A and B are shown apart, each in its own frame.
Chain A
């Protein structure tokens, strides 16, 4: 208290000085600024510190695992023939990395028409580091938060609102996705040996990221196009599709009329012709039996 009083006196002594006001302001700023830095927003500083570390860790992983194709700064690499070894990753964002690495697509092993899902090569932490690194290259859609993609909030809605949300999800899915992925999410063919894969068993996060980043031939469905809320509804619909019972019996692959045609010939016609042969043969057999007896 004394100290405070004393300094207050001293301050008042200089009050009339030309720069007194400024000095006061400066000191106040410094004090509050320093106090703030020392106490309150410790997270931010640490985060940027951590982020820098994460980016650094990501850069190291990237240099080892990805740079042969994507270049040391993710700028993309052309081979001697001018073909793209790996595209530029500037601006694809952390979400694309999280999707590509999290589904095992990257690092790519064999260049080909389609880069399939395979077993994941990096741990979750490493994936996060790679994502952070690519996100640091140029702004792009970052790895989504759980609150973005988790559809459980939809399931908690009252019944009619929930039905409406899932119904919207189906409508969006039918409008935007079935042309490639089929009505049942079972996948379909793309030109030249490519394919849109089945959506069964794909995690919510990866469905969300796939829409956000549009891997390879798939379109990008940005948030302006399909807002996060609607993306969640699509995810909820896809989950409902997977979980609902097979009302009609075995789904026969869920690929539509081609599968049905195959089954009708193999099981239906095949079985009935088998019966016809059996019935016709039956009498010949009894006849034979009688003759030899």
Chain B
């Protein structure tokens, strides 16, 4: 390797800030893992930069987004609404590799694929999302998830849960099990409960939903409870963590769901297991034993391995929730940091946003909307008061927020996959 190229790579990796970094002659190789909200954003932004070669590794040919998957469960729209291919990313200049990544070597910045291929990058961006902690709930496993779906990674799991709801008789009991935090999308389970209730009210009004929750309080709780009381009175019962709500065991054969306190038999059970960073990251030690991967708050570079950026749900960055909106903003900041290093500058932080809309019915939406700033140690929430839609908001406000939610989803997915 010639000196120029070495300096260039060291600079990209954050080692040096030499202006001579562009003497390399060959394009630097950026490897991106995961074509979800974090990975697809970064790949799309960096594709076409002449100094870079971008490779994107993704196991699935079709991405099914978790955002708007609750709408599929509620019958608001079909699966196609959340299905996207990666053709546009390829057209934008990203080299796509459809494969399962099996291992990461942080030292050499290389990644192994299921077929034995090994790719080495000058910079790595890892956004593989979450893994489930199956062992935390007795009787739950990838195999039993065929009968007791989590639907917390969208796709076939979403279809299974939807099919079960459609096949259920009127008067059936739907059990939703919610894990202790942190998990992806803090308001997601409660949006799901709402949209399942919408489906049941419309099609199977004698049915009930029992929520077995490891949490006591939850995201946008007053707004959800206000909506449930007005839209679905008597349909939803919730057992919080302090009343032993956490699901401890599942028997997929008999559909018995057990908490530390009680057993119920479900017609349909949607049990969401506890979560941590994707296994491939924890196996590589990138979580530093914490279960989530610590990163710095400007370019989301790993605190464990220089030159490796970790985005989205897997990252331990501070106060931002594990949302698609956050992953997208982090990815934009990461792309800026990579380009800044390429040009020989120190990356500068800028404020970030998160907006999470929740739908409780087709025309009833509300939101949490926050500004974040990269501090010296972590990403910090700027204002901790008045973050959500007000209680008692008008029907017009809820309809407008539902409309904006749909608009956000269509815009972000067209930016990534369109």
Instruction: Verify that A and B bind, or say they do not.
Output: no
Chain B interface (Cβ within 8 Å of chain A)? none
